[in-house]
Structures are given as structure tokens and as C-alpha cells.
Amino acid sequence: MEDYLSELENCELCEWRCGANRLEGELGVCRMGEPQIASAMLHPAPPRSYTIFLSGCNFKCLNCQNWRIAHYPDSGASPRGFLDPAEMAKEAYQRIKSPKGQALGADRIFFSGGSPAPSLPYLEKLVEEARKLGDGNVKVNYDTNGFLTEESLRRVLDFTTSVTFDIKAYHDDVHRALTGAPVEPVLRNAKCIAENAPERLWEFRVLLIPKITEGEVKPIAEFLSAIDSEIPLNFLAFRPNFVFEDYQGVTREALDRAVEVAREAGLKNVNWSGRADLPGEIPEATASEYDESGAKRAGGIAKRAGCVTHPRDCGSCQAIHQCPIKGYKPGRRT
């Protein structure tokens, strides 16, 4: 075992703080052993980069667009596997500096997933190796769902150039219904970055899901604008995915309205991106264990997919290692 992975013997990298000995086969909420590279490629999505996708995730989002990666090993995906961080660093550096990388405008390594959080010690080693190459000035973007411990967040900020930060919801029950996790650590970490490292923040992102997260727009915008009106916020257009494979896509009108509401709340740097107006259905809100209407609707979908703990709480769920959400297979390609 490499020394830099030793903390995986008692893993507390994210706010689940499972304490699992991942190197000896114990599994926490993310169900990951040693870090696994899912795939890597030059990628135009802002910021342009060589994006390294890490397998696994500490959330169980109903709408996951990268579900094969995020829900490994239950998804049945075949990742590239555990790769020597020095070799992975060399690959990333060479691809960024290649003619194709330069034509794209790629200027950094981008860690995404799933969630990179379960792979944090590996990423630190990879970045250390990358910065031994060339002029040593390798930029790094870290893509996060925000569910990190305060110590892990500090470590992320120590090696990153930029951070893209997803806020799934503001209300705890909506966040739980969508992800299986509480929202407090996410909001805490969002505030920490916005207040203490605004120069690292590429943008906050909110996925706009009809009748589920539309009610989250105003409180999220008010939360951010109270910190700094210049904070960048991007609304992402929901498209049918994973457990939400038949759910209706968000309309252009709703996206435009979200931008308007966020600006009315005081934010100046707001936009939206993605493909709008995709067809689908919006089921009734049926889960009585939740308060917010969006949570009732998402919770009802989770129930129909087999989720047994409501309000959702993956950290205390007895079915954590036979999770029907992680094992869900969409009926059509998403």
C-alpha cells in the first residue's frame, strides 16, 4: 500500500465519516475501495480541460447524468482502474500540451465524477506529480457536490486553481429526497468558499428540475447574494436521466425566470446553460414524510424505485449495501 492512501484505512474524507477501512474491503456510503479512474478526456465544458472522471460518489442522486460512473461498482461499469498517479499526471499534462489540447484551449486538469471526494489523497498525489512537469504551473479544477468535511475542503483549496460547486437544493428535505444526504455541510462549504476563497470559485451551479428545484431558486440566490452579489451562478437545464428517465425536462421559460429571480435576489452574475424543453412527465407529489412539495415529489419517485428510508438518509439506511438506487438500471439509454 502506498503511504498516501493510508487514511483510507479509516476513511473520513466526506461528511458521512464512515470510518471504513477501504483498503481491507470495508465499504462506506460511497462503496468504494481504492480510487478508480473511470475515464479521462479532453473536454470543452467550462473550464476547458483534460477531465479525469473518478468512479464512485457519496450521493445517490435520482437524476444522476453520470450514473454509470457515480454508482460504480453497482452500475456494472468497467473503469480504467487504479492507475499510478505519476503516469496519470504525465498523461494529463501531455494531452493538455498536445496540438488538440491547445486548439481546444484546455489549460488545466479537471477532476469530476461521480464525486472526486472519495479519491482525495490520490488526487493530491496526482497534482503533486503533475506540478513536477514542465514549468510546474499546472492549473487544477475540482468539481464538487460540496459534501466534504471542513478539513477535506481545506485540502482541496490547497491544490486547486478553480472549483465548480453544485448546490442541489437549499431546503434539507428537498436535498435529502434528491441525493440521500443532508444539506447543511453543503451550504457550510459553499459559504466557506464564497467568503474565504472567492478567487477559486469558477461558479455555483443549480440543476433546475421542474416542480422540484424551482422552489429552491430564490432561497439559494438569497443565501449567495447575502455573501457577495458578484458570486457566479449558473442554472443547468435538467434533462431526463437515471431514475428520472421519464421526467419532463425544464422549459426555457422556467430557466429565464430562474435567472430573473436570482437577479431580483441581488446576484449580478447569473446565467443558464443546457438543452431545454425536453418531453416527459411530472408525477404527483406523494411522499408524505417530506414537507416541501418538491421533496414530496422526488421522495415519491425514490420510493417507486425501491428506496426504503424516508426522509432519505443514506448514512443510516440499513439497505446501504443493497441500495436499489445505486443498482437502478434505466429502461432506456440515458
Q: Is 165 helix (H, G, I), strand (E, B) or coil?
A: strand
Q: Is 141 helix (H, G, I), strand (E, B) or coil?
A: strand
Distance from C-alpha of 95 to C-alpha of 330, rounded to nearest angstrom: 33
* Sign of the alpha-carbon torsion through 192, 194, 200, 204: positive
Look at the block and give the residue holding cell 471526494: 117
* Amino acid residing at 22: R
* Three cell numbers written together for 279: 418531453
* DSSP code of residue 233: E
192 is in an annotated binding site: no
Closest-CA residue to 230 (of 206, 192, 255, 204): 204
Cα–Cα–Cα angle for 131, 135, 140, rounded to 5 degrees: 40
Contact at 8 Å (CB) between 204 and 190?
yes
Q: Is 332 helix (H, G, I), strand (E, B) or coil?
A: coil
* Three cell numbers written together for 209: 428540475
- 111-128 in b/e burial notation, b at 16+ Cβ within 10 A? bbbbbbbbbbbbbbbbbe
Q: Residue ranges for the binding site for [4Fe-4S] cluster?
A: 57, 61, 64
Q: Residue ranges for the binding site?
A: 57, 61, 64
